[in-house]
């Protein structure tokens, strides 16, 4: 929170209202869903965390860096915040995100006293660089996820349903300490593997099917994200060749992903490999994304990205090719950007099948 306050002077504000649940989580370590928590951070003095009765007792025990105030039944949460802003003599307050009705109400109540300034990017300046404490948790989430992927290789057999594969992966991750999944597990098999977000259905996996498996564990609210493409049974020559190109593309991107690199150039390094293989038209999404408390965070790795990588960014690198009527292949790892290179946090073989 002290880092946030360093930005106050530069941004011309002397307080900040945090409404986004992931920003609330970042500053307090406490998860309140659906925007039920509001955190008021003044330049001077302690931050106030406003929660409803349902979260109050838990927040008092678990929320850090703030004192907790309950919004009682029938009480107007906005009114409480306005009173506190006036009491603290905050003349200019930034906020991350407000729905239009709340913005209208606060603006009207504060008119002539305090200016409301949208600062949606301010918290990303902090969250985009993971500190050592966060990295410990992200490493753990990535490790658990790698174990989950190992389970996928162990259990995949022709005749299984997609959801059965997902169940084995998620069970393996839970047993190793996962707090939940980062997103709904994708097990997309056969022709469905050509759908980049193919979910997980009750389709029966057949001999020779490509199976795109995209999974992530969470650990203390930090997330991982990993993809491998497997084949149930014996892979074909064409499947093997396509995989090779995708893996080469990922290697090229990992090599170019160093602090200071332009995100769009890292994307280009992978896209170039895919292009040389004549598969460019099948690589239909960006190369990757930042990850942390949320599964999709800045920086973006895509041809349009204006971001530049910094040491302490944690990103995914996930090239893929999706040939409708044939199938899709994607590999993805979580990667920590360091001064002199990238470090993979997820680990595991890239093979379509592991002989046992």
Separation in Å, CA 26 to CA 11, 20, 21, 85: 20, 10, 9, 22
Smallest separation, CB 328 to Mn ion (Å):
14
Residue 55 or 225: which CB sits closer to Mn ion?
Answer: 225
Which segment (113-121, 139-147, 217-225, 279-287) binds Mn ion by CB under 5 A?
217-225
Residue 96 or 214: which CB sits closer to Mn ion?
Answer: 214
Q: How far apart are the C-alpha atoms of 271 and 286, rounded to whole Å? A: 9
Which residues inside 269-298 make contact with Mn ion, applying CB under 5 A? none
Smallest separation, CB 286 to Mn ion (Å):
10
Smallest separation, CB 188 to Mn ion (Å):
14
Beta bridge partners of 17: 40, 95
Q: Is 94 exposed, middle or buried (0-12, 13-18, 19+ CB in 10 A)?
A: buried
CA dihedral 31, 32, 34, 38 (to 10 degrees): -120
Separation in Å, CA 160 to CA 26, 183, 192, 211, 309: 40, 22, 15, 11, 41
Smallest separation, CB 317 to Mn ion (Å):
9
Structure tokens at 156: 């995949």
Smallest separation, CB 268 to Mn ion (Å):
19
Given candidates 316, 322, 328, 334, which one binds Mn ion under the rule CB under 5 A?
316
CB within 8 Å of 75: residues ≥ 6 apart: none
Which segment (189-197, 228-236, 311-319, 340-348) binds Mn ion by CB under 5 A?
311-319
Report the residue closest to Mn ion, judged by CB. Answer: 225
CB within 8 Å of 52: residues ≥ 6 apart: 36, 70, 71
Is 14 an interacting residue with respect to Mn ion (CB under 5 A)?
no
Residue 218 or 316: which CB sits closer to Mn ion?
Answer: 316
- Taking alpha carbons only, the member of 309, 295, 307 closest to residue 340 is 309
| Helix (H) or strand (E) run with residue 5 in it | helix 2-11
Smallest separation, CB 161 to Mn ion (Å):
24
Is 333 an interacting residue with respect to Mn ion (CB under 5 A)?
no
Is 23 an interacting residue with respect to Mn ion (CB under 5 A)?
no
Given candidates 143, 147, 170, 225, which one binds Mn ion under the rule CB under 5 A?
225
Smallest separation, CB 182 to Mn ion (Å):
9
Residue 178 or 316: which CB sits closer to Mn ion?
Answer: 316
Residue 40 or 309: which CB sits closer to Mn ion?
Answer: 309
Smallest separation, CB 183 to Mn ion (Å):
8
Structure tokens at 128: 């985009």
Structure tokens at 173: 């991750």
Residue 14 or 316: which CB sits closer to Mn ion?
Answer: 316
Separation in Å, CA 185 to CA 181, 214, 246, 329: 7, 6, 21, 16
Separation in Å, CA 154 to CA 149, 161, 168, 169: 9, 15, 10, 10
Q: Please say whether the beta carbons of 305 and 291 come within 8 A.
A: no
Smallest separation, CB 176 to Mn ion (Å):
20
Which segment (61-69, 80-88, 315-323, 337-345) binds Mn ion by CB under 5 A?
315-323
Which segment (63-71, 111-119, 312-320, 343-351) binds Mn ion by CB under 5 A?
312-320
Residues interacting with Mn ion, by CB under 5 A?
225, 316
């Amino acid at each position: 929170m002290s880092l946030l306050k360093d930005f106050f002077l530069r941004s011309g504000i002397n307080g900040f209202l945090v409404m986004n649940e992931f920003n609330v989580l970042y500053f307090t370590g406490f998860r309140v869903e659906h925007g039920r928590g509001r955190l008021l951070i003044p330049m001077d003095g302690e931050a106030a965390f406003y929660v409803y009765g349902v979260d109050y007792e838990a927040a008092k025990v678990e929320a850090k860096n703030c004192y907790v105030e309950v919004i009682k039944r029938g009480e107007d949460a906005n009114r409480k915040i306005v009173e506190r802003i006036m009491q603290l003599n905050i003349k200019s307050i930034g906020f991350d995100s407000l729905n239009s009705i709340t913005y209208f109400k606060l603006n009207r109540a504060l008119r002539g006293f305090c200016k409301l300034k949208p600062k949606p990017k301010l918290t990303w300046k902090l969250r985009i660089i993971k500190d050592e404490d966060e990295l410990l948790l992200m490493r753990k989430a990535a490790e658990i996820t790698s174990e989950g992927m190992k389970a996928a290789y162990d259990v995949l057999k022709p005749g299984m349903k997609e959801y059965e594969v997902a169940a084995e992966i998620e069970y393996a991750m839970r047993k190793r300490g996962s707090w939940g999944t980062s997103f709904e597990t994708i097990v997309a098999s056969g022709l469905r593997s050509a759908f980049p977000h193919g979910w997980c259905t009750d389709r029966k996996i057949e001999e020779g099917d490509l199976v795109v498996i995209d999974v992530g564990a969470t650990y203390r609210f930090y997330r991982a994200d990993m993809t491998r493409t497997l084949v149930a049974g014996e892979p074909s020559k064409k499947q093997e060749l396509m995989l090779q190109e995708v893996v080469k593309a990922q290697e090229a991107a990992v090599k170019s992903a160093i602090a200071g690199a332009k995100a769009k150039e890292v994307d280009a390094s992978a896209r170039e490999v895919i292009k040389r293989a004549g598969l460019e038209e099948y690589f239909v999404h960006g190369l990757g994304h930042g990850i942390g408390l949320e599964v999709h965070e800045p920086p973006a790795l895509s041809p349009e990205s204006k971001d530049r990588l910094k040491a302490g960014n944690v990103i995914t690198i996930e090239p893929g090719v999706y040939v409708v009527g044939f199938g899709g292949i994607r590999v993805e790892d979580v990667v920590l950007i360091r001064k002199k290179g990238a470090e993979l946090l997820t680990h595991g073989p890239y093979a379509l099948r592991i002989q046992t």
